[in-house]
Chains A and B, each alone.
Chain A
Amino acid sequence: MTTAGDLRRSNPTFSLRRIGTLVLRYWYVLRGSWPRLVDLAYWPTLQMIVWGFMTQFLATQTNYVAQAFGVLLSAALLWDVLFRGQIALSISFLEDIWSRNLGHLFVSPLRPIEMLAALMTMSLIRTLIGVVPASLLAIAFFGFSVYSLGLTLVGFFFALIMFGWAIGLMVCGLVLRHGMGAESLAWASMVAIMPLCAVYYPVDVLPVWLQYVAWAIPPAHVFEGMRAVLVHGTVRGDLLAWAFALDAVFLALGAATFLYCFHGARERGRLLQSGE
Chain B
Amino acid sequence: MSEAAIEVHALEKRFGKVTAVAGIDFTVATGSIVALLGGNGAGKTTTLSMLLGLLLPSAGTIHVLGEDMLRHRHRVLPRMNFSSPYVDLPHRLTVRQNLRVYASLYGMDRIPQRIGDLAAELDIATFLDRPVGQLSAGQKTRVALAKSLINQPDLLLLDEPTASLDPDTADWVRTLLERYRARRNATILLASHNMGEVERLADDVLMLRGGKIVDQGAPAALVEKYGRNSMEEVFLDIARKQGLAAEEAA
Contacts and interface: CB of A to CB of B under 8 A. Distances in A.
A and B: partners?
yes
Contacts of A269: 15, 46, 49, 54-55
B82 A107 contact: yes
Contact of A104 (B80, B89, B92): B89
A101 B89 CA distance: 6
Contacts of A103: 54, 84, 86-87
Interface in B98-123: 101-102, 104-107
Contacts of A63: none
A272 B84 contact: yes
A272 B87 contact: yes
B6 interface: no
A71 to B, nearest CB: 41
A108 B102 contact: yes
Nearest to B50: A269
A104 B147 CA distance: 9
A28 B93 CA distance: 7
Contact of B90 (A2, A20, A95, A108): A95
B198 to A, nearest CB: 23
Interface residues on A, range: 35 or more
A56 interface: no
A29 B133 CA distance: 12
Interface in A5-27: 7, 10-11, 13, 15, 17-18, 20-22, 24-25
The B interface is mostly helix, strand or loop, or mixed, namely mixed
Contacts of A266: 53-56
B241 interface: no
B86 A32 contact: no
Contacts of B88: 99-101, 104, 275
Interface residues of B, number: 37
Given A10-B107, A11-B107, A28-B93, A107 B55 contact: no
Interface in B60-106: 74-82, 84, 86-93, 97, 101-102, 104-106
A73 B77 CA distance: 50
Contact of A11 (B46, B75, B84): B75
B158 to A, nearest CB: 12
A95 B92 CA distance: 11
B74 A111 contact: yes
Contacts of A99: 88-91
A267 to B, nearest CB: 5
Interface of B: 15, 45-46, 49, 52-56, 74-82, 84, 86-93, 97, 101-102, 104-107, 131, 147, 154
25 contacts: A10-B107, A15-B107, A18-B104, A21-B104, A21-B105, A29-B92, A99-B89, A100-B86, A101-B88, A101-B89, A101-B90, A103-B86, A108-B105, A109-B77, A266-B55, A266-B56, A267-B55, A267-B56, A269-B46, A271-B54, A272-B45, A272-B54, A272-B84, A273-B86, A275-B88
